[in-house]
Amino acid sequence: MTYGSLDGTREVVLTFDDGPDASTTPEVIDVLNEHDIEGIFFVVGKRLASSRGQEIIERAYNDGHVIANHTYSHPKLTKLGNQEIKDELRKTQDLIGDFASEPLLFRPPYGATNARVDKLIQEEGYLKVMWNVDTLDWDKRSKAWVQHGMDQISNREDSLVLMHDIHPTTAEHVNELITRIKSLGENVSFVSYA
């Protein structure tokens, strides 16, 4: 994945892992839509198995957000065999169906990867997307994650921000994060990917 600007614009990509969640993901989508920002949702296949999960990703897709693969059961891929990894990818991709990103984007759970896993991901046709800003929203179950994220974002030109749309505190405070990012100046541009 390539991002970054040659014209001095600070580019920010907002990504959300582990969803969809019936109560929190729609709130996150609402906030992104209010700010006219496209997010990338790295979805877990088990959460798509219900009709509600499918409705949520369909809505996200129709609203212009990117739907990407985050495995079926959220395992550490480095601990799985090659066929198990392929099954994790394919089961989720089948559930994503027509809502899939182009190119196919993938983020390994926990960021756990190695040369073998990277090779398999590439052979399956995916572009691996990591992050350079970890808000730790999964650990900081209060709005403290917003400041933690801003400390990182304000010290870099371009940011690929990791959040999790399954946590109520993320849904409650993502608006504050976006507002604070926007306050960094007119040269901030929110992008989904290029």
Residues 146-173 have pLDDT tens digits of 999 999 999 999 999 999 999 999 999 9
The CA-to-CA distance between both ends of the chain, in Å, stands at 7
Task: Confirm whether 173 is a catalytic residue.
Answer: no
Average pLDDT over every residue of 26-42: 97
Q: Is pLDDT above 70 for 7?
A: no
| Distance in angstroms (rounded) separating the CA atoms of residues 115 and 90 | 20
Q: 3-state class of 122 per DSSP?
A: helix
Supply the pLDDT for residue 187. 78
Q: Sorting pLDDT into bands at 50, 70 and 90, what band is 65?
A: very high
List the catalytic residue out of 65, 70, 164, 167.
Answer: 164
The β-bridge relationship of strands 40-43 and 159-164 is unpaired
Q: Is pLDDT above 90 for 1?
A: no
Topology, domain 10-190: TIM Barrel (3.20.20)
Domain regions of the chain by residue span: 10-190
Task: Confirm whether 164 is a catalytic residue.
Answer: yes
| Distance in angstroms (rounded) separating the CA atoms of residues 160 and 92 | 23
Q: 3-state class of 182 per DSSP?
A: helix
List the catalytic residue out of 17, 21, 137, 165.
Answer: 17
Contact criterion met (CB below 8 Å) for 117 and 77: yes
Supply the pLDDT for residue 193. 66
